[in-house]
Each structure stands twice: as structure tokens, then as C-alpha cells.
Amino acid sequence: MSDIEQKDKPATQPEWVKDERTLTNSALPSEEQDWFCDARPRRVEKHWQVLENFMNWARAHSLWILAFGTGCGAIEMRPLVTARYDISRLGMQMRPTPRQASVFVIGGYVSLKTLKRIVRSYEQMQGPKFVVAVCSCAINGGMYWDSYNTIKRIDEYIPVDVYVTGCMPRPEAVLAGFNLLKKLIREGKAEGQNLYADKFDWYKANQKQVIKDWNMPDYNW
């Protein structure tokens, strides 16, 4: 689980915050600002426990992966679908669009250009959604620790549920990561989506700090 601490709130609101519930989309041209939703993500409240347990069981057994490889580690995703590792026996499969996916696998180093797409894809995924960060590069920069264009800590920009270390991790390690994710989901501990909703301002401020030409809606879904 991530070890982020909430930083102090800024004294003045940034220009992309209108009020508690509304975003301004101020980075877009004025005629486009209405095209996108101005609501923030909201926390998903829990049902009563028995129902929640059943739903978590069901969620853990149909994880659909967004087929979006950010770096070289994503090459290890391909063998997972082959007969040898066969993730479909775990109820997992690759989906081509964020709308149909529930697991986002960060497969390797994240450059600034990719981070923009990652944020957009992550926000477009429908809940419940989970993030698995594969590769050292996504965790602490890996061998790109002194690179000018690589994000060192992906968990400051989107919430991460499970990390898989290695450069690059073997498919077995990735599978172990998925098993851990399933365990967390069944226990109701994979709460990345709610974390994102709760600390939305903090995540957004981090994203805008490094993405210098922010030209997207403030929350894309």
C-alpha cells in the first residue's frame, strides 16, 4: 500500500478549483470548458458487509486489464495470455479500452508524455478500479533514477494497490502480484479509487506540477 502523507492545504485555491464540488477545467479553451464534466470523483460508500463480501468475491474473479504498456516491462504482459501462464484461468483478460477495464497495469518507466495518458486513462476507467505497478522504474525510477523525463514515483500521481519489483519481473512475479491484488480485493483493502477521490486535490496538484502543458479537463471520465 502507498505510504503517502497528505501535505498541508495551500492557503489560496488554485484556479482549477471552483468550490468544494466543482472544477473549472480552466486549462481548456473557453468554448470547450462546458463539454466536460466539472464534478470531482466521489467516494464509493460501502454496502452492508455480507453484500460487500459477495461483491468483493465477484470483483476479484473478473479482473479485466487495460492493455496499455507504458514501458519495456509491459512486454511481460504478453506471455501471461499464452497457454503457459494463461491468466484467463484467473478470470482475467486484456481489454482495449479503459471503459471496459478494471485493472491498470503500469508496465515500466513512465515518461511525462505517458503520464498524461496514464492520468487520462485512469480517470476514464469505471470503478471499481485497481492499479498494479510492475517494474522498478514505476516504483522508484529504477535505472532511470537520474533521467530528466522519467517520473520516479508513480504513486504520487495515481493511487497504486500492488507493486511488483524487478527489472523486468518474470511472469510468475506478475502473477503473484495479481494474486495479492485478488486477496486485497476480497478483504476489501484495495481502496485506491476511494483514495483518489479523497485526496483528489493532492493528486491533481502533483500532476499539474510536472505536466507543464496541462491541456486536459481537470477530471476526465
Partner 1 sequence: MQELLDNLKELYALNGITLRNPSLAWAEVTPERLVGLLTQLRDAHGFTHLVLMTCVDWLEDGRFQVTYLLHNYTTRQDLGLHVYVGRTASELPSIHTLWEQGRVYQQELHEMFGIYFPGSPGLGEPMILESWDGPPPMRRDFDTRVYSEETYSHRQRTHHEPEQHMKDRLYPED
Task: Please give the residue ranges that form the binding site for ligand SF4 (CB under 6 A).
Answer: 71-73, 108-109, 135-137, 142-143, 167-168
Radius of gyration of the chain (CA): 18
Closest distance between ligand SF4 and the C-beta of residue 28, in Å? 32
102: exposed, middle or buried (Cβ count in 10 Å: 0-12, 13-18, 19+): buried
Closest distance between partner 1 and the C-beta of residue 148, in Å? 4
Residues that bind partner 1 (CB under 8 A): 112-113, 115-116, 139-141, 145-153, 156, 210-213
Q: Residue 173: enclosing H or E segment and its boundaries?
A: helix 171-186
Nearer to partner 1, 85 or 144 (CB): 144
DSSP calls for 77-136: HHHHHSTTT-GGGGT-EEESSGGG-SEEEEES-EEHHHHHHHHHHHHHSPSS-EEEEESH
Nearer to partner 1, 171 or 217 (CB): 217
Choose the one of ligand SF4, partner 1, none that binds residue 136, judging by a C-beta under 5 to 8 angstroms depending on kind: ligand SF4
Choose the one of ligand SF4, partner 1, none that binds residue 69, judging by a C-beta under 5 to 8 angstroms depending on kind: none
Choose the one of ligand SF4, partner 1, none that binds residue 115, judging by a C-beta under 5 to 8 angstroms depending on kind: partner 1
Choose the one of ligand SF4, partner 1, none that binds residue 213, judging by a C-beta under 5 to 8 angstroms depending on kind: partner 1
128: nearest Cα among 203, 33, 197, 30: 197
